[in-house]
Amino acid sequence: MFDEGRLNEIVKERKRWEKTTVPRWVRRHPERKGEFSTSSGRLIKRLYTPEDVKGLDYLRDLGFPGKFPFTRGLHATMYRGRLWTMRQFAGFGTAEQTNARFKYLLKEGETGLSIAFDYPTIMGCDSDHPMAKGEVGQCGVAVSSLRDMEILFDGIPLDRVTTSMTINGPAAMLLAMYVAIGDKQRVPRERLGGTTQNDMLKEFFAQKLCIFPPKPSLKLVTDIIEYCARHLPKWNPISISGYHIREAGSNAVQELAFTLADGIAYVESTLKRGLKVDDFAPRLSFFFASHNNFFEEAAKFRAARRLWAKIMKERFRARSPRSLWMRMHVQTSGCTLTAQQPVNNIVRVALQSLAAVLGGTQSLHTNSFDEALALPSEKAVRVALRTQQIIAHESGVADTVDPLAGSYYVEALTNEMEERVTEYIDKIDAMGGVIPAIEKGFFQREIADSAYKYQREIDQKERVLVGVNEYTVEEDWVPVELLRVHPKVEEEQLARLQRVKRERSNGRVRKVLDELHDAAKRDENLMPTIIEAVKAYATLGEICDVLRGVFGEYRELIVI
């Protein structure tokens, strides 16, 4: 962007500055550390100048928002036209309790729903399963049948909200329940909007919530993508996620690289099904963390858009412009929250949110300050929402598109992120793709190594964690009453489950479960049969057990 002659002068001056001005100053004021580095171990220079972006071509590498390569944003006007969706992940206890929390959040200004399910539900077990003891409603809402879902959405019109469901193994069943509610509310299926996370590949090496082995898991993922392409045009069948990879301990480059590798695998799987890329690619969505290093994170989001657009265009030859869009949801990083001096987390979340907004996210969840201790209390989640609202309405950052563009540092980071991610993708390609890499333990090792390195840095105080290894206090301050899920939730759930089983037609349930078994054996798309099953009030556990019988259960490959 600078002509060669002028650039040479800048380089000359930079070298002079490093030989004279810098040492003179550093002699009397040494720098705080020997070296400064990003989460991904890359050295951060003292200063970035035009030299660091000399290869950057504005039209080729940045362009304009809404046009390839989308570095500057997916849409022409970004937040000037429409703010990101404020979508707070929520769920605990019974469906009634979570329904109340949903209504509270909507009243306080969130603009999209997001459901957190409890562990038994996530693992495809009913609330009365032996392994559900003590777990019902603890980390999310318990949903064992359509009845729970009906209560969850009581008074919430599905043609006026969109809902994201963080569900993977049993995604098909929960989506089926949502469709059934929509049918009951007489909302045309083409109007149902939302997302199912439905990203099994990352489960195998990051979040670890697997029911079935890899091949059948991928089959179910693809069933959902195919079904949505044909019948639920406003539904995002998948949220290809880096968040959990990051939370498991990876750095920023690994988070992005492994997510894109998963995305590539899903596109390939769906193409193998016989769909054309432009038939489903526009509805693929993504989910990232926003971690502590402000500029690295903002650069990551920008690089992510550019990388995916190139992958879709060059590798998969997508033609529709929408197939090139990387639409993302971001959540501020849970693992960066501290149990010590929890009020400090408000500041962390604010900075992380700002990075996501400056990175151009479509949707954002902000963590509550008490989340290192418990599920969000009402007061804390309100502060989290206010954080987004203050950024949106008071800070001015949403009033122009991609304001960080042109920063020598940010553009250098964005370029570097793209290069290093591409190296990883090439490496994974060379292994034969994501599934062989999982079987080799590749991702698991990379993540475990990064996690251990991060911990050592904290233990050795190379990395300061305010309130934890530095600036500690004897007496802490927690200004809210922490949320506690009452054990009687489990009793209530069990009672409800028993009533559902009594009141339904068990003959119909048996019949539809047999149909499901046959359909699974014939390798058909299981969505239609699963919808029938949930409408008959077959329970989540009963449906998953049929599939466990056909697909088997997953055994983890342990890598420390």
Partner 1 sequence: MSSERKIRVAVAKPGLNSHDRGAKIVARALRDAGMEVIYTGLRQTPEQIVETALQEDVDVIALSILSGAHMTLFPRIMELLKQKGLADVLVFAGGIIPTEDVPALKKIGIAEVFGPGTPTDTLVEFVKENVRKRE
Q: Does the footprint of partner 1 cover residue 19 (CB under 8 A)? A: no
Among the listed residues 30, 49, 354, 26, the one whose alpha carbon sits nearest the alpha carbon of residue 366: 354
Min separation Cβ 119 and partner 1, Å:
4
Min separation Cβ 463 and partner 1, Å:
12
| Residue selected from 373, 383, 412, 543 as contacting partner 1 according to rule CB under 8 A | 373
Among the listed residues 242, 359, 348, the one whose alpha carbon sits nearest the alpha carbon of residue 299: 359
Q: Are 336 and 302 in contact (CB under 8 A)?
A: no
Q: Does the footprint of partner 1 cover residue 253 (CB under 8 A)? A: no
Q: Does the footprint of partner 1 cover residue 507 (CB under 8 A)? A: no
Min separation Cβ 373 and partner 1, Å:
7
Question: What CA–CA distance (Å, rounded) separates 362 from 268?
Answer: 25
Q: Which of residues 314-353 bind partner 1 (CB under 8 A)?
A: 335, 338-340
Please report the DSSP string for 15-61 in residue order: HHHHHTHHHHHHHHS--SSS--B-TTSPBPPS---GGGGTT--IIII
Min separation Cβ 137 and partner 1, Å:
9
Among the listed residues 34, 55, 54, the one whose alpha carbon sits nearest the alpha carbon of residue 44: 34
Question: What CA–CA distance (Å, rounded) separates 526 from 516?
Answer: 7
Query: 284-290 and 238-241 as β-strands: parallel, antiparallel, unpaired?
Result: parallel
Minimum CB distance to partner 1 smaller for 10 or for 343:
343
Q: Which amino acid appears at position 202 of this protein?
A: K
Residue with the two structure tokens 């903002």? 298
Minimum CB distance to partner 1 smaller for 110 or for 199:
199
| Residue selected from 170, 249, 282, 376 as contacting partner 1 according to rule CB under 8 A | 249
What angle (nearest 5°) sits at the alpha carbon of residue 40, between those of residues 34 and 44? 40
Query: What is the C-alpha R_g of the chain?
Result: 24
SS3 435: helix
Q: Does the footprint of partner 1 cover residue 135 (CB under 8 A)? A: yes
SS3 197: coil
Q: How many residues bind partner 1 (CB under 8 A)?
A: 40
Question: What CA–CA distance (Å, rounded) separates 159 from 182?
Answer: 8
Q: Does the footprint of partner 1 cover residue 255 (CB under 8 A)? A: no
Minimum CB distance to partner 1 smaller for 11 or for 494:
494
Q: Which of residues 461-500 bind partner 1 (CB under 8 A)?
A: 465, 468-469, 482, 484-485
Q: Does the footprint of partner 1 cover residue 211 (CB under 8 A)? A: no
Q: Does the footprint of partner 1 cover residue 138 (CB under 8 A)? A: yes
Q: What is the dihedral of CA 541, 546, 550, 553, to 10 degrees?
A: 10
Stretch that binds partner 1, among 6-14, 98-106, 316-324, 449-457 (CB under 8 A): 449-457
Compute the residue count for the chain: 560
Min separation Cβ 227 and partner 1, Å:
27
Q: Does the footprint of partner 1 cover residue 201 (CB under 8 A)? A: no
Min separation Cβ 49 and partner 1, Å:
38
Q: Does the footprint of partner 1 cover residue 248 (CB under 8 A)? A: yes
Question: What CA–CA distance (Å, rounded) separates 116 from 497?
Answer: 20
Residues forming the site for partner 1 (CB under 8 A): 119-120, 122-123, 125, 131-135, 138-139, 207-209, 247-249, 335, 338-340, 372-374, 448, 451-452, 455, 458-459, 465, 468-469, 482, 484-485, 556, 558, 560
